[in-house]
Amino acid sequence: MLNINVSPIKMIKRIKIEYNLCVFLFAYLNQANLSLHRAGWTDIGELKKFYLNRINLGKIVRLLILNAGIDADKLKYVYKISGYSLKKRQILCLNHFWFRLSTVFLEEEIYYICKQLISFAEMLEREEEVHQSEMENIRAGISKFSFGILMHKISYKDYNEALKVEHYMQHDGMKDIRMEEFIKKLPDSSVLNNIL
């Protein structure tokens, strides 16, 4: 008789994240996306100066690790995500806005965006010149999560506000929203206050 060892099926872990944290995260990622896009036109040193006065990328990663309850040691692995299909986006719309269900992510999605933010932070810390393609790869990864997954978990009103977030090298005539406005809406907890 043939004896075959079958590995157990990996359960897909789902993670609930508080809604206002999702809005803040979308605003922060949109700031990073726009800033990386504009940095392609200037010296990387200017982008580094911009982020000296902004919330540290590493703090956002720690915030996600604490709120999602993920294992920081697993950040050494590679994670891939795919955007949501039209059918899934319609279901999310029903779930989140009509039935007021909580915002839920797959574990891999949280690991993925943490890795993108870590790559961005490491790029900003390096002394040597950064190639344009590296900036674009990080920007594309952040954008893939923001616009392929996260934007479908927040309301249209909050989405539009988050699109107006301050960013590097923005147009002088544009009316922006400071990141502090999104921070004010975060859940009141000592953990969040210590990180941010």
| Domain count for the chain | 1
Give phi and psi for 137, each to the nearest 5.
Answer: -65, -40
Percentage of residues in the chain with pLDDT exceeding 70?
74
Tokens of residue 10, six digits? 């990996």
Look up the pTM and report it: 0.81
Asked if residue 61 belongs to a domain, the reply is yes
Closest CA to 22 of 94, 91, 96, 82: 96
Amino acid 110: pLDDT: 94
Name the amino acid, one letter, at 141: G
> Which residues are registered as beta bridge partners of 177?
165
How many helical (H) and strand (E) elements, i.e. helices and strands, does the chain have?
9, 2
Per-chain mean pLDDT for the chain: 79
Range of the domain at 84: 14-195
Helix axes 19-39, 44-52, angle to 10 degrees: 150
Within-domain flag for 139: yes
Instruction: Render pLDDT for 49-89 as a digit per residue (tens, 0 to 9).
Output: 888 888 889 999 999 999 899 999 888 887 877 766 666 66
For the stretch 40-51, pLDDT in tens is 777 788 888 888
Residue 103 pairs in a beta bridge with: 17
End-to-end CA distance of the chain: 60
